[in-house]
Amino acid sequence: MLTSRLFLICASIVSFCIETSQATCNVTHVGDTENLLLRGTILTSNGALCDSHVLVESGKITYVGSGHDLGCMLGQKNVTVVDCIGSVISPGFINTHEHIGYSTITPLKDIGERTNQRHDWRVGARNFTRRPAPVNGSEYDATKWGELRHIFSGTTSIVGGEMVPGLARNLDFASGLEDGLFAPTATFDVFPLNDASGIQRLGNCDYGAAAITQDEAGRLYRYLAHVGEGVDAVAENEFQCLSNSTFDVTPLTDGGGLSTDIIAPNLALIHASSLTNEDFDLVAARGAMVVWSPRSNVFLYGKTLNVTYLLDAGITVALGTDWLPSGSATMGREAVCGRDVTQKDYDIGIAPQDIWEMMTINAAKVAGFEHQLGSLDVGKLADIVVFSGDVQQGDAFAQAVYAPSDNLQLVLRGGKILVAGEGLDILATEGCEAVLWGSVTKSICVTDAVNSTFAEFEAVLGGVYPAILPGIPDGEPTCVSTR
């Protein structure tokens, strides 16, 4: 039996790059499902590695390469071999900007109104229409549902302000990091200027009394803060108050009112859509980062920033969906929006690999977990997604980042199988169930985390926005700029 098993494994790894139209993965040898050998096109920052292999053992990546030196290394290890020769193998996507508690809400209707700063639509400031988005049901269930939607589209880690255990990694909660990750965590701040009541300022920093200070921000491991969301000078004023300690030196009597300077390598600016090129030059010089959410920018404010300026300046940019009411339901749809709006508005194409990096290694850097997540390197955690298709027919990175969820073949978080496509149901063990995924059936393994089957949980929620989505989700907010 041992000789036969080793022969099968060696036969799987000694091969060449072949043109194929294979649309799914296949298990070619069944062994220990905690030890997986994946074969396909591996996506790395150095390019796509055709017909290569990733070995996963006990939740970590222990080998990445052509496989020619792998046979002897395997020895008597009882690995399961998964042949995905027509597919791309990527690190799991990392969404560094979500408000996950709103995940059961139907996206906002487009009333044709574009605002200038977030309080315009949040509270109806400056005679704009207030756009409330009340949580549908419990926030806990909505968070659970949102994490499922992201897992079902290839996202394995989230910064989302809320969390439930056992599904996606929650990089802003120590209790939500899941297997193999440990604190410190990222800090997610929606109102760094303590302006949740709708305070808008121009030329001064008279926001809330508990606005973030330089000392407070400097003590944080990673600080992901909403800054400059909007398109006008009122929105950009927030950046002035957080980047120039001499901009406002007159305190308010009840506290606050002073500008500060928090622009540092531990900072990621979420949105930053009102910043000028000069502002971004400062961000680049200080080594700070940016989280880009183009769909929500376009839907709420009529346009988004020119991300290519940031990339050319050397700024680390991550992609984030923002939230379901005005953003993208999945990272893949956010990637499509980023590609399309940059081409249309700025007449510049973004390479699929650049967008892929925004969804993987750049996002890991933003959240502070680049040494454990974000790339398929030996020693990192096995957060892995596989998308089907023929890599010979186009760009391998595009095949991953623009893929509809139908193309998702495999999702691993720390080596644990969360989704297995057709032909991989043999990998689905206890706690898994078959679900209809468009026109095909896939296995999902989330029963333990959900505390019920997916079907039962879906029935309890009763008609909320779906977790398994078609190529273009219903009611998706526009990504066509109007400014």
Q: What confidence tens digit (pLDDT) does each residue in 426-437 have?
A: 998 888 999 999
What does the pLDDT read at residue 16? 38
- Residue range 2-92+376-461, CATH number: 2.30.40.10
What does the pLDDT read at residue 23? 56
**Which residues are 189's β-sheet partners?**
225
> Residue 274 and residue 239: Cα distance in Å, rounded?
9
What does the pLDDT read at residue 129? 99
Element (H, E) at 418: strand 416-420
What does the pLDDT read at residue 34? 86
Amino acid 334 reads: E
**Could you tell me the sign of the dihedral formed by the alpha carbons of 385, 183, 445, 27, in that order?**
positive
> Residue 232 and residue 273: Cα distance in Å, rounded?
9
Decide which of 3.30.56.10, 3.20.20.140, 3.30.70.330, 3.30.470.20 is the CATH code for 93-367. Answer: 3.20.20.140
- Centre a 10 Å sphere on the Cβ of residue 311 and count the other Cβ atoms it contains: 19
What does the pLDDT read at residue 67? 85
Q: Which residues contact 190 (CB under 8 A, 6 or more apart)?
A: 99, 161, 196, 226
Give the ranges where 152-266 is alpha helix by DSSP (H). 214-218, 233-243
What does the pLDDT read at residue 5? 39
For tokens 């622009």, the residue is 263
What does the pLDDT read at residue 98? 99
Amino acid 292 reads: W
What does the pLDDT read at residue 427? 92
What does the pLDDT read at residue 228? 99
Task: Read off the tokens for 221.
Answer: 């491991």
Ranges for all domains in the chain classified under CATH 2.30.40.10: 2-92+376-461
**Which residues are 53's β-sheet partners?**
39, 65
Task: Read off the tokens for 265.
Answer: 């390598």
Query: Coil, strand or helix: which one is 163?
Result: coil
What does the pLDDT read at residue 10? 43
**Long-range CB contacts (< 8 A, 24+ apart) of 392-399?**
392/19, 392/20, 395/352, 395/353, 396/41, 396/43, 396/48, 396/88, 397/43, 397/48, 397/88, 397/351, 397/352, 397/353, 397/355, 397/356, 398/352, 399/88
Q: What is the pLDDT of residues 415-427, one digit of tens each?
A: 999 999 998 999 9
What does the pLDDT read at residue 70? 83
Asked if residue 178 lies in contact with residue 169, where contact means CB atoms within 8 angstroms, the answer is yes
Element (H, E) at 355: helix 352-359
What does the pLDDT read at residue 109? 98
What does the pLDDT read at residue 415? 97
Residues of the chain with pLDDT under 50: 1-19, 392
What does the pLDDT read at residue 387? 97
What does the pLDDT read at residue 471? 85
Ranges for all domains in the chain classified under CATH 3.20.20.140: 93-367
What does the pLDDT read at residue 392? 46
**Could you tell me the sign of the dihedral formed by the alpha carbons of 68, 69, 75, 80, in that order?**
negative
